[in-house]
Chains A and B, each alone.
Chain A
């Protein structure tokens, strides 16, 4: 069976998972994340031929991993302009929710 990692080459500084539309960073530890193309977790510096540069164009919600919040398109563009790391969404594994307490 083909897995994501067999397609991946590490350490591509410009076009890595960290700037890919298909990639969702871990909500707390964004050095790893989940690739929606290959349905597998990867490190942020991986690269594959399915790379699609993330652009803040579509009217939708985005994820700011610097602030750990969801943003509208306009807000995401603003955060991006301040150097924040913007993604399509975040990867929240089930254990994260298990460790959150109610107020």
Chain B
């Protein structure tokens, strides 16, 4: 069985993204399932960034530490990942950087320098050379690549200008690393061709660079070990990030109007929609309107106007932008306007760590807006869920004429995975627009009192009508009359009950694993992947757990959750926030207290190995709270 993890690190902007893309393509070409994510600084060009991948012949669900391969393209990467390589792994670094000291790397965090000094000080200082000694002592194999000499060789072997060759350092590093793991040159070349195929001037020097690096490793470290092909070799498959997949869902889900104001980690969603804005609808061409607004206030208010006029409208943002959208969410509830907001959580509060992971906006999403403003909140756990959820959120917004928050996060946004086309089956896709009134008469009541709380919706412009943020009567006329007010509040309440009863329970939460397990993990969002992956290892070590994944957080599936959790002897909350936001909601709705906690608050992804460690600490050693802290 193949199950290998690796990290490629270097300066942000130094080809780390391209390197990751090449590696993923090479591994998919060899037939493996792959998952990979990028970690990067928010605002410092040249600060350390890295791509973390895992490839396996099983489903690739989650990332894992330690890794079997670290490729460090500069001194900062070698020092940053000195703790991440496993005892049987390879540590590829620039042989010319051995004398570089952490103290002289300006972009490195001061705390990291301190930790390195503590670890490497006894060896004579926090240098790359001492880091190499440390990994060697731990059993890993250091591979010093003379990058400058290899680059000169590439220069001698290709007629390309040196400016083009300079960009191949990343490819030399990844090619050497993949070769050590048993990935043959032809797959590495395939990955390079798939990534740079459209740019012949870039393609050739990169192919030469990969060959030069592979030849160097073979000549100095021996013949390559054999690694069997993965089970999917030769199959045509799809690569997509979380941002891509949500955008795909929206495009096929009938989106007609998307706004955004650029903010990490949401922007790529809108960019993808923009790149695919021309769609074929029943044989005729149509276009999605994509607008970059001047700020998040404009972005959300634009979709309010567009949706009121009949568009299927959404926007995307992250925590800070969502804060600015609060008032508009209230208006969407009051005016019963169907909008979808993709909320890509990141590490807060405030600007926080803008490009890092967090799950801290659950309560923000639930309670956004003022004055009794319930809305649907859906949390996707992986790419497949995110695709279908993107479609469902558009349907639910229009069926129930309400704001819908699609809760996602940075990890999902930046994570690329491989999918089969059948996993994104749109053959049964149904675009639901709810109660529409396409031919309203002069007596049209936009807010007609109905039993289910939902009034037939006509788009603005068909007949004179009033839509505002003020309380209103059935016609939309502003009123402060107590009877009108009570009728409208009760109408909105009935609508909320309709929503709660209309969405099937199986859509609201999923119990993974043995229903009779004594230990139940609860969580929401992208932690699903690490938990599911960890469950396999926990079962192997004799700890039988199941996992209750909350998919819809509002309306909260209180009754079903209670029935499931009352069978469990030990409930463990797993969340990337310190307020235990899901546990808070669970207790508020059901009275069930979650006594055991696993927290991840260092703004890095949750790794499956951390879940295993934390659950073992709780189950075997009686710990009540475990803070897991892996990740560079």
8 Å CB contact of A95 from B15, B147, B355: B15
Asked if B541 is at the interface of the complex by the 8 Å CB criterion, the answer is no
Name the CB-closest residue of B to A44. B148
Given A32-B151, A103-B42, A103-B355, check contact A43 B162 (CB 8 Å).
yes
Decide yes or no whether B178 CB sits under 8 A from chain A: no
What residues of B have a CB within 8 angstroms of the CB of A68 in the complex?
A: 11, 45-46, 106-107
Complex interface: chain A residues within 8 A of B17 (CB): 99
Contact A27 to B13, CB < 8 A, known contacts A41-B163, A66-B106, A102-B264: yes
* B152 at the binding interface (Cβ < 8 Å): yes
Instruction: Evaluate contact between B166 and A29: CB separation under 8 angstroms.
Output: yes
A57 interface residue per 8 A CB criterion: no
Cross-chain contact B267 with A96 (CB below 8 angstroms): no
A96→B45 contact, CB < 8 A: yes
Q: Which chain B residue has the least Cβ–Cβ distance from A97? A: B13
Q: Is the CB of B14 within 8 A of A28?
A: yes
Q: Determine how close the nearest CB of chain A comes to the CB of B165; give it in whole angstroms.
A: 8
A93 to B105: give the CA distance in the assembly, Å.
Answer: 22
Contact with B along A19-49 (1 / 0, CB 8 A): 0000000111101101000001111000000
- What residues of chain A lie closer than 8 Å to B10, measured between beta carbons? 28
The interface residues of chain A lying within 8 Å CB-to-CB of B223 are none
Judge whether A100 is part of the interface by a CB distance below 8 angstroms.
yes
Contacts of A34 in B (CB 8 A): 163
- Rounded to whole Å, the gap between the CB of B274 and the closest CB of chain A is 16
- Which of A31, A64, A66, A101 is close to B40, meaning CB atoms less than 8 Å apart? A101
**What is the chain A residue whose CB lies nearest that of B13?**
A96
Which of B45, B104, B165, B351 makes the CB contact (< 8 A) with A66? B104
Q: Does any Cβ of A come within 8 Å of B43's Cβ?
A: yes
| Interface: B299 (CB within 8 A) | no
Measured in the bound complex, the distance between the Cα atoms of B152 and A32 in whole Å is 10
Q: When chains A and B are docked, how far (Å) is the Cα of A64 from the Cα of B155? A: 26
Task: List residues 50-101 of chain A with CB under 8 A from any CB of chain B.
Answer: 64, 66-69, 83, 93, 95-97, 99-101
Q: Assign chain B's interface to a size class.
A: 35 or more
Collect the chain B residues with CB atoms within 8 Å of residue A5's CB.
162
Contacts of B166 in A (CB 8 A): 26, 29, 32, 41, 93
The distance from the CB of A8 to the nearest CB of chain B, in whole angstroms, is 10
Given the interface contacts A27-B45, A27-B46, A31-B148, does A42 sit within 8 Å of B14 by beta carbon?
A: no
What is the CA–CA distance of A19 and B11 in the complex, to the nearest angstrom? Answer: 23
Question: B18, A103: Cβ atoms under 8 Å?
Answer: no
Complex CA gap A99/B15 in Å reads: 7
Q: Mark B245-277, 1 if CB is under 8 A from A, else 0.
A: 000000000000000001110010000000000
Residue in chain B with minimal CB distance to A100: B13
- In the bound assembly, the distance between CA atoms of A34 and B166 in angstroms comes to 10
Closest approach, in angstroms, between the C-beta of A50 and any C-beta of chain B? 17
Known interface pairs A34-B163, A93-B166. Does A103 touch B43 (Cβ–Cβ under 8 Å)? yes
Let me know if B354 and A103 touch, CB within 8 A: yes
Interface positions, chain B 28-79, Cβ under 8 Å from A, are: 40, 42-43, 45-46, 74
Note all chain A residues with C-beta closer than 8 A to B155: 43
For A101, what are the chain B residues with a Cβ–Cβ distance below 8 Å? 40, 42, 264, 355
Instruction: Kindly state whether residue B167 has any CB partner on chain A within 8 Å.
Output: yes
Once the chains bind, are A32 and B40 in contact (CB under 8 Å)?
A: no
B162 near A28: Cβ-Cβ < 8 Å: no
**In this assembly, does B397 line the interface, its C-beta being within 8 Å of a C-beta of chain A?**
no
Do A96 and B161 touch across chains, with their CB atoms under 8 A apart?
no
Q: Is B16 on the interface with A (CB-CB < 8 A)?
A: yes
Contact B162 A103 (CB under 8 A): no
CB contacts (< 8 Å) of B40 on chain A: these are 101
B207 interfacial by beta-carbon distance below 8 Å:
no
Which listed residue (B46, B169, B263) contacts A102, Cβ 8 A?
B263
Q: What is the CA–CA distance of A66 and B108 in the complex, to the nearest angstrom?
A: 11
B393 at the interface (CB under 8 A from A): no
Interface status of B342 (Cβ within 8 A of chain A): no
Asked whether, in the complex, the Cβ of A42 is within 8 Å of the Cβ of B18, the reply is no
A83 to B163 Cα, complex, angstroms: 27
Tell me the complex Cα distance, A10–B161, Å.
17
Bound complex: CA of A42 vs CA of B161, how far in Å?
9
| B13 touching A28, Cβ below 8 Å | yes
Closest B residue to A95 using CB positions = B167
Query: Is A99 a contact partner of B355 (Cβ separation < 8 A)?
Result: no
Q: Is B526 an interface residue (CB 8 A)?
A: no
CA of A43 to CA of B161, assembled, Å? 12
Shortest distance between the CB of B136 and any CB in chain A (Å):
25
Q: Which residues of B (7-26) have their CB < 8 Å from a CB of A?
A: 10-18
> Which chain A residue shows the least CB distance to B162?
A41
Nearest CB of A to B243, in Å = 11
Shortest distance from the beta carbon of B518 to any chain A beta carbon, whole Å = 44
In the bound complex, CA of A97 to CA of B255 (Å): 31
Q: Are B162 and A100 in contact (CB under 8 A)?
A: no
Are B152 and A67 within 8 A (Cβ)? no
B14 touches A29 (CB 8 A): yes
Note all chain A residues with C-beta closer than 8 A to B147.
31
Q: Are B264 and A93 in contact (CB under 8 A)?
A: no
> What residue of chain A has the Cβ atom nearest to residue B163's Cβ?
A41
User: Contact string, B349-371, partner A, CB cutoff 8 A, digits 1/0?
Assistant: 00100110000000000000000
Distance, CA A99 to CA B163, complexed state (A): 17
Chain B residues closer than 8 Å to A40, beta-carbon distance: 161-163
Additional A-B contacts beyond A27-B45, A40-B163, A96-B14 (4; CB < 8 A): A43-B155, A68-B107, A93-B166, A101-B40
- Which A residues have a C-beta under 8 Å from some C-beta of B? 5, 26-29, 31-32, 34, 40-43, 64, 66-69, 83, 93, 95-97, 99-103
The 4 closest A-B CB pairs, nearest first, are A67-B106, A41-B162, A28-B14, A41-B163
8 A-B pairs (CB sep. < 8 Å):
A29-B14, A29-B74, A41-B161, A42-B162, A43-B151, A43-B155, A66-B106, A69-B106
